[in-house]
Structure 1
Amino acid sequence: MTRHGFVVGVRPEKREEYLELHRAVWPRVEQAMRENHIRDYSIFIIDDVLFGTYEYVGEDYAADMARIQADPTSREWWTRTNPCQVAFGPAPAGTLWREMDLAWHMD
């Protein structure tokens, strides 16, 4: 199992829209993540910053992430959520979220 943490900004004028979307995440979006070995996914918010964490329990992270990226419902979901977000500093091309390095963890 590996832990992943990500950060992104939320547009102040879209903050409530983003939160409303996540009060009722589409079941197929969650299913795609579960099918591709994502567990214990959480998103936290403070001011205009979103922080997400999850555990990956599969064996081929790149392949599983590619399957989620290809999922039509997930792609449609992102057409709703991405306009609410803004990159937090320099994000990799094609993404808004930046992956963070794990500095410390306690079980």
Structure 2
Amino acid sequence: MTVQRFAFVVDVVPERREEYLRLHAAVWPEIEAALSAHHVTNYSIFLIEDTLFGYYEYTGDDYQADLAAVDADPVTKEWLARTDPCQVAFGRDARPGDGWRRLTEVWHLA
């Protein structure tokens, strides 16, 4: 099995920080099930100041199709409707609507 690693970064809107943390203190089971069903594993989100760092591993064969299926899920759409307003694109090159920005892996120790 091939494992692909993905890392992303986004800033949290300071006024919505507590809301974001509250939502993620009890992620909906349907969200976790949808991710797991589409080969997303070892998913973590970390926080430093007002920046969120997300990491997950993908173990499937068709990343684009699996993530499209997760995004099309009605419960996922509702989850994102609640969490997306809590986020703003990270970095000086960010544009409105960028959301989570993917990081380039520089080094990995297996």
Q: TM tier, shorter chain?
A: over 0.9
Aligned length: 107
Helix, strand or coil at the partner of 2:27 = coil
2:11 to 9, 14, 33: 9
Corresponding residue for 1:106? 109
Root-mean-square deviation over aligned CA pairs? 1.5
1:61 to 56, 60, 63: 63
Distance change in 2, residues 1:104/1:85 (3 Å): same
Whole-angstrom distance in 2 between the partners of 1:62 and 1:27? 23
Whole-angstrom distance in 1 between the partners of 2:14 and 2:98? 19
Corresponding residue for 2:75? 73
Query: TM-score by structure 2 length?
Result: 0.91
Q: Which runs of 4+ in 1 moved over 2 A?
A: 89-95
Query: TM-score by structure 1 length?
Result: 0.94
1:9-48 to 2 correspondence within 5 Å? 9-48=11-50
Return the offset for 1:95: 4.6
Whole-angstrom distance in 1 between the partners of 2:49 and 2:89? 15
* Identity of matched residues, %: 55
User: 8 Å contact 2:9–2:90 — kept in the other structure?
Assistant: yes
User: 8 Å contact 2:89–2:95 — kept in the other structure?
Assistant: no
Distance change in 2, residues 1:49/1:42 (3 Å): same
Structure 2 residue ranges without an equivalent (≥5): none
Structure 1 residue ranges without an equivalent (≥5): none
Amino acid at match of 2:104: D
Amino acid at match of 2:102: E
Return the offset for 1:91: 5.2
